[in-house]
Structure 1
């Protein structure tokens, strides 16, 4: 990471705006906090922070950290497989494969093409 570059994490509050006490906890944990309202009904409220709060803060306010997939693959029938560090989803539904198994399986099948695949 370059000097001066700050990691950014996204936290979501899926059911409601961030409570004032949650905002206070986020300000105490991070130097930089910005909020993003949902662009349409049903989408979560988001906070972008440079440091994550403790897990107990996330649990207490029912917040979750949004993680980006490590790899995204698409089949010739438009099935989308997203491989995260801790899980694998196909069209938004969690699958029973480990990320390592999923990486191996999609690479072996000709019907899958990489959409967003890192250097790993």
Structure 2
């Protein structure tokens, strides 16, 4: 670009006008004061409301599940032991893989299951 073209381009596209820092600070302070007032008002309106101890209503579902457990505590204990054993198998498998061994997989998807076709399922330790 020649010197003449450069000065023409500068005349057509002047640099952006920067805001006055004093005016910007004044407006920002006013905005902050208004925000604080709104937040204090919202907090004051919430002050007398009691918090919901179970906003997702999980206590009913948990009580139903616990009643099934206590109807057959032996079955519950059996499932807990199976869960603990499955976790130990998973930890053992992970430890062997971290040591460079190639143990037999704990679980494999069905042959027709296309959800696990991505190579990351085989290559990444996260999904191993």
Q: Which has the higher contact order (CA 8 A, sep 6+)?
A: 1
Q: Which has the higher strand share?
A: 1
Q: Which has the higher helix share?
A: 2
TM bucket by the smaller chain? under 0.3
The structure with more radius of gyration:
2
TM-score by length of 1: 0.21
TM-score by length of 2: 0.20
